[in-house]
């Protein structure tokens, strides 16, 4: 295997204990901070070359969010790493019981192309913080960003413990044959299954950050213009290539009539009369993706936008209406600047529609009535939830981010990333003496011994008392 040597070299480094001291972890994390500062312009240029990412969007989503993760981690790492002492029963009252925060070992992070810096460095920050050795595999789809990471990371991080592998599908398949101690994959469900299958051969635990069709319910009672702006921003940010973008709107016929002009206004306000000329609207990442998204325009009827340019990989911000649930655009994650509107009679029908499909990465609900938002929250299941806005839940390092069911498994961000890459090791350290107390649990057994052992080790229901 072409990667066996690399993996065994990193495993030797991990076994040496080099990555375990807090000072080492902090030094590596601070080096990542310098990379984000010193290479910021290179990041903006690479993401612009790869997918026409506007500088504002690139700096916000790739740099600022990464730095937030980094600072949250550096601010709290000493506390997160500490042994966590836990409650004891009567039998272990004089002993030490604690949870040790152990690194897993050698971990693999496979990143996607849509946010090629943030979704690579975000998990990496937690993996380093937890004391692991790491191989990162940036996406080959975004070639300029891939090259930037392959060149920059080795010059900032310790090469004994951290490596970048640049690989296409075939090479990644070979890479996955190696035994890792943890695999963190961000991408699509079909590849998630391949990663999980490879991991199963070694019983390697995984986090899978996948996608899905994120529903966005808009109730009849809301500020229509505010809803239109927040939905349009979430859908057309990064030219719609966001795993947490609102994928389709569910609303009544009456709301659709109000929402269409409001969306048209929001799109014009954001990108001008011709979004193609706007410096603030991105492009589709590659030809294959362009053709896939363009084909989805044939579903329903174009109410807004619909213009395309293959040479530029440009697809205008588009809104589709008159859709059937069986239309192609309602069968796969769109991952492009198209927003279908599906008409439902009321909130109950919307909830039934959502619950008849795979569980999404995020659920959106808009209403001036909190009861309606809470009803959608309580009666649906999704990785995350955001009421009366889009995307913004992802900016909080205090919230876990991850999918459920088809949209993924596991969670990260802030402390959740540290916990993901940490083995929580249950430990009990007893004294060598006081053997007379232990004699009660040794054979020969009798009823009196059992009564004492029960009393010494029992977890009692609150309010109950035990008579010896």
SS3 453: helix
150 with 282, same domain: the answer is no
Pairing mode, strands 215-218 and 248-251: parallel
Q: Are 235 and 201 within one domain?
A: no
Whether 442 maps to a domain, the answer reads: no
Three-class SS of 242-262: CCCCCCEEEECHHHHHHHHHH
- The answer as to whether 187 is a domain residue is yes
What whole-number distance in Å separates Cα of residue 246 and Cα of residue 216? 6
Region 149-166: mean pLDDT is 98
pLDDT band at 463, cuts 50/70/90? confident
Are residues 167 and 124 part of one domain? yes
Q: What is the pLDDT of residues 328-387, one digit of tens each?
A: 999 999 999 999 999 999 999 999 999 999 999 999 999 999 999 999 999 999 999 999
Q: Whole-angstrom Cα distance, residue 109 to residue 116?
A: 12
Judge contact between 168 and 25, C-beta under 8 A.
Answer: no
In this model, does residue 468 exceed pLDDT 60? no
Residues 321, 190: one domain?
no
**DSSP code per residue over 301-326:** EEEE---EETTTTEE--EEEES--TT
381 and 249 in a common domain: yes
- State whether 399 and 266 are in the same domain: yes
Q: Which residues pair with 304 in a beta bridge?
A: 319
pLDDT at 226 over 70: yes
Which structure tokens are listed for 372? 């309606």
Is 133 or 464 the better-scoring residue by pLDDT?
A: 133
d(CA 134, CA 161): 7
The mean pLDDT of 313-338, rounded to a whole number, is: 97
How much is the pLDDT for 465? Answer: 66
Q: Does residue 181 lie in a domain region?
A: yes
Does residue 176 surpass a pLDDT of 60? yes
Secondary structure (DSSP) of 30-76: HHHHHHHHHTHHHHHHHHHHHH---HHHHIIIIIIHHHHHHHHHHHH
DSSP summary character for residue 401: B
> Does 223 share its domain with 282?
yes
Residues 183 and 243 both lie in one domain = no
Q: Angle at the Cα of 119 (from 159 to 141), degrees rounded to 5?
A: 90
Query: How many domains is the chain built from?
Result: 2
350 in a domain, yes or no? Answer: yes
Percentage, residues of the chain above pLDDT 90:
97
Is 177 in the same domain as 245?
Answer: no
User: Is 136:112 a contact under the CB 8 Å cutoff?
Assistant: no
User: Residues near 283 by Cβ (< 8 Å), separated by ≥ 6?
Assistant: 51, 52, 239, 312, 313, 314
Q: Taking the alpha carbons of 449, 451, 454, 455 in that order, is the dihedral positive or negative?
A: negative
Question: Residue 284 in contact with residue 241, Cβ under 8 Å?
Answer: yes
Instruction: Give catalytic residue positions.
Output: 209, 243
Contact of 146 with 17, CB cutoff 8 Å: no
Residue 467 lies in a domain: no
CATH code of the domain containing 311: 3.40.309.10
CATH value at residue 105: 3.40.605.10
3-state secondary structure of 119: helix
Instruction: Tell me how crowded residue 461 is: count the other CB atoms within 10 A of its CB.
Output: 6
Structural domain that includes position 256: 215-403
Residue 267 within any structural domain of the chain: yes
Instruction: Say how far apart CA 252 and CA 323 lie, in whole Å.
Output: 13
Q: In this predicted model, what pLDDT tens digit does every residue of 246-265 receive, in sequence order?
A: 999 999 999 999 999 999 99
Q: Are residues 164 and 281 in the same domain?
A: no
Condensed to tens digits (0 to 9), the pLDDT of residues 61-100 reads: 999 999 999 999 999 999 999 999 999 999 999 999 999 9
Does residue 261 belong to any structural domain of this protein?
yes
Stretch 409-422: mean pLDDT, rounded? 98
Q: Is the overall model pTM greater than 0.95, yes or no?
A: yes
Q: pLDDT tier at 443 (50, 70, 90 boundaries)?
A: very high
Per-residue pLDDT band for 466 (boundaries 50, 70, 90) equals low
223 in the same domain as 141: no
Residues whose CB falls within 8 Å of the CB of residue 135, separated by 6 or more in sequence, listed in order? 3, 6, 7, 10, 106, 107, 108, 109, 162, 163, 164, 165, 175, 180
Shared domain for 230 and 196, answered yes or no, is no
Q: How far apart are CA 301 and CA 323, in angstroms?
A: 7
Do residues 146 and 166 make contact, with C-beta atoms less than 8 angstroms apart? yes
Rounded mean pLDDT, 396-402: 98
Structure-block tokens of residue 100: 């040790």
Q: Quick one: pLDDT band at residue 467, thresholds 50, 70, 90?
A: low
Look at residue 452 and tell me if it is in a domain.
no
Q: Which residues contact 460 (CB under 8 A, 6 or more apart)?
A: 466
55 vs 211, more confident? 55
Q: Please return the burial class of 391, using the count of CB atoms within 10 Å of its CB with bins 0-12, 13-18 and 19+.
A: buried
How many C-beta atoms surround the C-beta of residue 73 within 10 A? 24
């Amino acid at each position: 295997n072409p990667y066996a040597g690399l993996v065994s070299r990193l495993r030797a480094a991990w076994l040496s204990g080099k990555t375990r001291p807090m000072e080492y972890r902090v030094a590596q994390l601070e080096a990542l901070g310098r990379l984000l500062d010193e290479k910021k312009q290179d990041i903006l240029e690479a993401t612009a070359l790869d997918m026409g990412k506007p500088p504002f969007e690139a700096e916000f989503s790739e740099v600022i969010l990464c730095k937030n993760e980094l600072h949250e981690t550096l601010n709290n790492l000493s506390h997160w790493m500490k042994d966590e002492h836990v409650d004891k029963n009567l039998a272990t009252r004089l002993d030490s019981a604690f949870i040790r925060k152990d690194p897993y070992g050698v971990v693999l992070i496979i990143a996607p192309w849509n946010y090629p810096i943030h979704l690579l460095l975000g998990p990496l920050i937690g993996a380093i913080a937890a004391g692991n050795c790491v191989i990162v595999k940036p996406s080959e789809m975004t070639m300029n960003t891939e090259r930037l990471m392959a060149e920059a990371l080795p010059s900032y991080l310790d090469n004994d413990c951290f490596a970048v592998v640049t690989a296409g599908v075939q090479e990644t398949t070979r890479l996955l044959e190696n035994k890792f101690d943890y695999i963190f994959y961000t991408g699509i469900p079909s590849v998630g299954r391949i990663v999980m299958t490879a991991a199963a051969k070694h019983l390697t635990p995984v986090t899978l950050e996948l996608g899905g069709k994120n529903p966005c319910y808009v109730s009849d009672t809301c500020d229509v213009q505010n809803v239109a702006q927040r939905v349009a921003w979430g859908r057309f940010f990064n030219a719609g290539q966001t795993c947490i973008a609102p994928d389709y709107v569910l609303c009544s016929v009456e709301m659709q009539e109000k929402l269409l002009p409001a969306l048209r206004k929001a799109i014009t306000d954001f990108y001008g009369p011709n979004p193609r000329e706007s410096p603030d609207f991105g492009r589709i990442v590659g030809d294959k993706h362009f053709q896939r998204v363009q084909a989805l325009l044939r579903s329903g009827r174009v109410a807004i936008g619909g213009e395309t340019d293959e040479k530029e990989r440009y697809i205008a911000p588009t809104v589709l209406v008159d859709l059937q649930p069986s239309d192609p655009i309602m069968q796969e994650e769109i991952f492009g600047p198209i927003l279908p509107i599906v008409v439902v009679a009321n909130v109950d029908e919307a909830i039934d529609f959502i619950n008849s499909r795979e569980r999404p990465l995020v659920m959106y609900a808009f209403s001036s009535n909190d009861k309606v938002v809470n009803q959608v929250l309580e009666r649906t299941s999704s990785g995350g939830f955001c009421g009366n806005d889009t995307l913004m839940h992802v900016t909080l390092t205090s919230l876990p981010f991850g999918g459920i069911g088809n949209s993924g498994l596991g969670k990260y961000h802030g402390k959740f990333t540290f916990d993901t890459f940490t083995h929580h090791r249950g430990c009990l350290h007893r004294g060598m003496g006081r053997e007379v107390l232990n004699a009660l649990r040794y054979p020969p057994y009798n009823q009196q011994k059992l009564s004492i052992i029960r009393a010494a080790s029992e977890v009692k229901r609150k309010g109950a008392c035990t008579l010896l």
